[in-house]
Amino acid sequence: MSDTTLPSSAELPLLIERSTFSPIYTLVGTVIVFAFFTAAPWILAASWVSVLSNFFVLLIMATMWNLLAGYAGMVSIGQQGFVGLGAYATLYFAIKGMSPFVAIPFAVLACAIIAYPITYLLFRLRGGYFAVATWVIADSAMLLILTVALLGGGTGKYLPGLTNLSPSELDHDTYLATWFVAFIVLVATYFILRSRLGLVLSSLRDNETAARSSGAKVTSTRRLIYVIAGAGCGAAGSVLAISQPFVQPGNAFSLNWAAEMLFASMIGGMGTIEGPIIGCIIFFVLQQSLQNLGAWYLIIFGAVAVVIAIWQPRGIWGLIRDTTHFELLPVGYRVSASSLGTRRRPSRDVN
């Protein structure tokens, strides 16, 4: 920065823009990606489709956890509670005769409604105490579900309403459900972060005291994000229930969900949209290559996450962005100087 002097805005107009490349490319890229993954069941082998389906479930969770911790600064280790509640809400609606696929939005709504009052208890605590309290609530939710005989108690229950589909139809529909939910979650997160709310979140992430004193409504923003993250993890739980399709408390409320979403966001890079995507890809490569070695994939993944948290807290995507100034899904603005006949040169990131 020291060797370049910016010309004054009188001789060179300063442009404030979102991206280094035209938004048309982003749109075209999104359409291509959407078309590819929608057509994937007809293109890829069945084993790949089921891996992708699991990938999208984790991607939903990691994106939601990133929104919660990376942007709103709330480290929750209790999001598996909403995964479980989403799965069980789907099971409940299915038992009452609804198609599990139709039940997804209702399960999401149920999780949002449950998340809202919880914030009034949780927001009395900060930092580490907040984190463990979210775990207590997830644990309580699991223990409550265990006592409901209708939902199969401790042994679990098969999700009804899927028997009229043939196995291959079921695989396709399950995959498409997870992909559509993941796509909606990603697009929604992108637009949330581009909106005014995203601006408040970024200010909160960077300096909470400054954000408060500038009039940002910190608590209500956090509340909204917690509800959104609860609903999103509920959506993940709902599609998880359909893909299993055996719903069992120990699995639906497993702490491993919290661990995986947390590690994926940390390794990929918190506070960026792209980070969790990269983290999830790394996680699945590791899991697939070590799948015969029991829990070692989680041990390695956790150890890498610890190392990254200490020595590279902005994660892999943070490292790439800091060195190349490249953004795949830009949500902030950058100032660039442009003049007649010369190329736009990005000078400083503002996000």
Partner 1 sequence: MTWANILIQGALIGGFYALFACGLSLMFGVMKVINLAHGDIAVVAAYSAVFLVPKLHVAQLWAFVVIVPLFALIGYVVQRTLLQKAIDRDPFTTLLVTFGLSVVIENLLLEIYSANGQSVNIGELVAKSWQVNSVIYVSYVSLVVLGTAVLVLGALQIFLSRTSSGRLIRAVSDDREAAQLCGANYKHVFGVAAAIAFATVALAGIAFGISTEFDPTAGGINLLYAFEAVVIGGIGSLWGTLVGGILLGVAQQFGAHFNLEYQTLAGNALFLIVLAIRPQGLFGRKVSLNE
Q: Which residues bind partner 1 (CB under 8 A)?
A: 69, 73, 75, 77, 121, 124-129, 131-133, 135-137, 139-140, 143-144, 146-147, 255-256, 259, 262-263, 266, 294-296, 298-299, 302-303, 305-306, 309-310, 313
CB 268 within 8 A of CB 316: yes
Nearest approach in angstroms of CB 93 to partner 1 is: 24
Specify the residue, 260 or 274, whose C-beta has the smaller distance to partner 1: 260
Nearest approach in angstroms of CB 78 to partner 1 is: 11
Distance, in Å, from the CA atom of 223 to the CA atom of 232, rounded to the nearest integer, reads 14
Nearest approach in angstroms of CB 124 to partner 1 is: 4
Specify the residue, 100 or 315, whose C-beta has the smaller distance to partner 1: 315
| Residue 304 to residues 262, 298, 307, 309, 311, Cα–Cα distance (Å) | 12, 10, 5, 9, 10
Q: Which of 281, 288, 237 is nearest to 64 (CA)?
A: 237
CA angle 202, 256, 187 (to 5 degrees): 40
CB 61 within 8 A of CB 261: yes
Specify the residue, 42 or 311, whose C-beta has the smaller distance to partner 1: 311
Specify the residue, 108 or 261, whose C-beta has the smaller distance to partner 1: 261
* Strand spans (E) along 91-178: 157-158
Nearest approach in angstroms of CB 300 to partner 1 is: 9
Nearest approach in angstroms of CB 121 to partner 1 is: 6
Nearest approach in angstroms of CB 284 to partner 1 is: 17
CB 294 within 8 A of CB 301: no
Instruction: Give, as one character, the DSSP assignment of residue 290.
Output: T
Specify the residue, 41 or 156, whose C-beta has the smaller distance to partner 1: 156
Q: Which of 69, 83, 218, 213 is nearest to 145 (CA)?
A: 83
Specify the residue, 245 or 315, whose C-beta has the smaller distance to partner 1: 315
What H or E segment, with its residue span, contains residue 36? helix 23-43
